[in-house]
Amino acid sequence: MGWRVAAASIDGILVTEHYGRSKWFYIVDIQPDGTFITVERRSVTPLCENGGHSEAKMASGVQTLRDCTAVLVAKIGPSARKQLELAGISVFEQPVIVEEAARKLAAYYVRAGQPENSAINK
């Protein structure tokens, strides 16, 4: 099975985007051995506007990623982090290659005994 993760990325190769400015997330399914496949590129409405953010857009973004165990971002603000974590979605600031982040995350989840995400087999 594994874990479904949303990577904030322009190209699906590097985690490059700030959570609130991202226009899409690459959804990847990570296996316990660190391998992964990209499932889709999912569009979202950026929630940052003029230095602030809309609560409705924040809720919509969290809802859009509800099937993910975690998000990988270059940066994220405290309000967005809190909303994701309250929804059970872990947040990792990892501005690195998606492949490297997938390996690290799989190793972390295996060590921590993180249950695998049932959304992957649906």
Q: Which domains does the chain have, with CATH numbers?
A: 3-121 (3.30.420.130)
Within 1-122, where are the H helices? 55-64, 78-86, 98-112
Q: Is 119 helix (H, G, I), strand (E, B) or coil?
A: helix
Span 9-22, pLDDT tens digits: 999 999 999 999 99
Predicted pLDDT of residue 1: 78
Within 17-71, where are the H helices? 55-64
Residue ranges of the chain whose pLDDT lies below 50: 122
Predicted pLDDT of residue 50: 67
Predicted pLDDT of residue 22: 93
